Amino acid sequence: MRLGIISDTHGTLPSEVFSAFAQVDHVLHAGDIGGPDVLTELEALAPVTAVYGNMDGFPVRSACPKVAAIELDGFTIVVTHGDQFGSPTPQVLHHAFPDAEIIVFGHTHTPLLELVDRTVTVMNPGSAGAPRRDAGATVGIMELEPGIPPRARIVTL
């Protein structure tokens, strides 16, 4: 299973996202979506699991949870924006979600992949719609296959 991982779109969905996510089976959005229309556009590509972030208004908050826990291809995945932890770190997220095999978060606008024994355990795809610093606009791609450690990469748009 191929996942498209995105965060911090803030109402902007660059056209390059559609190319990067062309063959994804599921999209995870880690908050600060910016409006329901972003989710509608992503749902045209694949099913979407999304959470709201600190900048999302009522329309998004009423449609999305603060934290989502899902199982895909046998992996327990938690998706959160992460703002409830200030500036979240992998250590804080592992402590908050000890049963999660994979944690996806946003909020910092900074891409991050934490690997333990070559297994992706924490991923922040950066910001697709409001990049900060020198990272530019980024998303993530993650490959899941039962019995094999997940593989992931950051994609610059």
Q: Is the dihedral of CA 58, 89, 73, 141 positive or negative?
A: positive
For range 125-153, the mean pLDDT: 87
Where does 2-156 sit in CATH, by number?
Answer: 3.60.21.10
> Hey, what are 156's tokens?
């610059």
The span from the CA of 15 to the CA of 129, in Å, is 11
pLDDT of 20 reads 97
For range 56-66, the mean pLDDT: 97
Q: What are the extents of the domains in the chain?
A: 2-156
pLDDT of 131 reads 66
- Residue 76: name the closest of 31, 19, 119, 16 by CA: 119
Sheet holding 75-80, edge to edge: 67-72, 75-80, 102-104, 119-124, 112-116
DSSP-based three-state secondary structure for 46:
coil
In the predicted model, what is the mean pLDDT of the chain? 93
Asked if residue 119 lies in contact with residue 145, where contact means CB atoms within 8 angstroms, the answer is: no
Which stretches within 21-143 are classed as H helix? Answer: 36-43, 58-61, 90-96
pLDDT of 133 reads 64
DSSP-based three-state secondary structure for 140:
strand
> Hey, what are 154's tokens?
């950051």
Q: What is the pLDDT of residues 67-123, one digit of tens each?
A: 999 999 999 999 999 999 999 999 999 999 999 999 999 999 999 998 776 667 888
The span from the CA of 143 to the CA of 86, in Å, is 29
The whole-model pTM stands at: 0.95
The span from the CA of 7 to the CA of 91, in Å, is 20
pLDDT of 115 reads 78
